[in-house]
Amino acid sequence: MPSPREKRLQKEFQRMKDIVSPHSLFRFFCADLSDSEAAEFLKSQISYDVIHQHLPGLLEPDAFEKKYIGLPPEKYLVVYECNGLARDNDGNIGKTAAHAMEIVFGWDYPSKPPTFVWHTPIWHPNFNTPNICIGLC
């Protein structure tokens, strides 16, 4: 019998799947990265080549469901493909089109909110990589 936490995570998974469409500006992956994969991931410039070739623990939702039957994802990587602004190392502001955010659900979820880590450079009042201000905390 799934625990209240697992039931809630399944519900979140369904909601994530429901809001993605072929036209949406973001996609998401279910992460079951080993520690070393996660470290590799931090070093990489986000690209689909990296995601598919080097990180077998990063799965599309349907692949995740096939591999972990009946289990909800505990960690997501959300990739946004939309234009934004980012500051380079010299402080110049330029255009950027790929953004990535990680969501991790703790053992104490849903009594406590998940943690969010923004991975990509961005120039925006609500972001200061890796921090995000979403009024949750």
Q: Measured from the CB atom, is 84 or 113 closer to other proteins?
A: 113
Q: How far is the CB of 135 from other proteins (least distance, A)?
A: 10
- Enumerate binding residues for other proteins (CB under 8 A): 3-5, 7-8, 32-36, 38-39, 41-43, 68, 70-71, 74-75, 89, 102, 104-113, 115, 117, 119, 128-131, 136-137
79 in Cβ contact with 26 (< 8 Å): yes
DSSP state, 27?
A: E
Q: How far is the CB of 13 from other proteins (least distance, A)?
A: 15
Helix locations, 20-122, DSSP H: 35-43, 48-49, 61-67
Q: How far is the CB of 18 from other proteins (least distance, A)?
A: 19
Measured from the Cβ of residue 119, the count of other Cβ atoms closer than 10 Å reads 18
Q: Measured from the CB atom, is 61 or 113 closer to other proteins?
A: 113
Q: How far is the CB of 52 from other proteins (least distance, A)?
A: 19
Measured from the Cβ of residue 21, the count of other Cβ atoms closer than 10 Å reads 6
Residues 6+ apart with CB under 8 A from 133: 126, 127
